[in-house]
A = this chain, B = another copy of it.
Amino acid sequence: MAQAPGTERVPRDWDQQLRARGYRATPQRQLVLEAVASLRHATPEDVGARVNQTARGVNISTIYRTLELLEQLGMVAHTHLGHGAPVYHLAEDADHVHLVCRGCGKITEISPDVARPLVATLDAEQGFETDVGHLTVYGRCADCRPRP
Interface set of A (CB-CB < 8 Å, partner B): 80, 83-84, 86, 99, 101-102, 108, 110, 114-115, 117-118, 121-122, 125-131, 134-142, 145, 148
Known: A80-B80, A114-B121, A121-B114. A128 touches B139 (CB 8 A): yes
Contact A141 B127 (CB under 8 A): yes
With a 10 A CB-CB cut-off, give which of A83, A86, A130, A138 has the most chain B CB atoms: A138
Report the separation of the CA atoms of residues A122 and B148 in the bound assembly, to the nearest whole angstrom: 14
Q: Beyond A127-B142, A130-B138, A131-B138: 5 further Cβ-contacts under 8 Å?
A: A108-B128, A122-B137, A126-B142, A127-B145, A135-B137
This chain: copies in complex: 2
In whole angstroms, how far apart are the Cα atoms of A138 and B130 in the complex? Answer: 6
Query: A81 to nearest B CB, angstroms?
Result: 9
Contact of A131 with B102 in the complex, beta carbons under 8 Å: yes
- The residues of B that contact A135 with a CB separation of less than 8 Å are 137-138
Q: Which residues of B contact A134 (CB under 8 A)?
A: 138-139
Contact A125 B114 (CB under 8 A): yes
- B128 near A140 (CB under 8 angstroms)? yes
Collect the chain B residues with CB atoms within 8 Å of residue A129's CB.
Answer: 139-141, 145
A101, closest chain B residue (CB): B128
Query: Which residues of the partner chain B approach A126 to less than 8 Å between Cβ atoms?
Result: 99, 108, 110, 141-142
